[in-house]
């Protein structure tokens, strides 16, 4: 089955709303595997208490079985590594994640 990766970089309201909603739709259809990779400004939103709605949507994706991954380097820079791990977020460098996506034959859609 094909794999889809939603790569969320931008932290604008439209991107923060679109990616979780799109991920939920992908998960509801038996269309293959889904992974959400958060990086840069979007990853920082995971540590922002004012982004409660976005964070609850991300946590719901994890609970529904989607792999949600963040960049370990940024998590360490912002002091959020332990918090992200406690939320069952995967941590992986972009330098290894994107080659992995290619080797898996994944379709990567960036926001």
When divided into structural domains, the chain yields a total of: 1
Q: What is the mean pLDDT of residues 21-42?
A: 90
Q: What is the mean pLDDT of residues 54-71?
A: 96
1, pLDDT greater than 80: no
Task: Quickly list DSSP for 35-101.
Answer: EEEE-THHHHHTT-TT-HHHHHHHHHHHHTT-EEEE-HHHHHHTT-HHHHHHTT-EE--HHHHHHHH
Structural domain including 12 reads: 3-110
Q: Is 111 helix (H, G, I), strand (E, B) or coil?
A: coil
Whose tokens are 């790569």? That residue is 7
pLDDT surpassing 80 at residue 31: no
DSSP letter assigned to residue 29: T
CB 6 within 8 A of CB 22: yes
User: Which CATH number covers residue 90?
Assistant: 3.40.1260.10
């Amino acid at each position: 089955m094909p794999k889809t990766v939603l790569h969320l970089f931008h932290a604008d309201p439209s991107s923060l709303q679109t990616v979780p909603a799109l991920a939920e739709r992908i998960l509801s259809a038996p269309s293959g595997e889904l992974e959400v990779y958060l990086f840069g400004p979007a990853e920082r939103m995971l540590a922002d208490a004012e982004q409660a709605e976005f964070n609850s949507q991300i946590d719901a994706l994890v609970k529904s079985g989607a792999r949600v991954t963040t960049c370990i380097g940024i998590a360490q820079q912002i002091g959020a590594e332990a918090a992200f791990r406690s939320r069952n977020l995967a941590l992986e460098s972009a330098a290894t994640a994107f080659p992995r996506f290619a080797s898996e034959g994944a379709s990567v859609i960036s926001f």
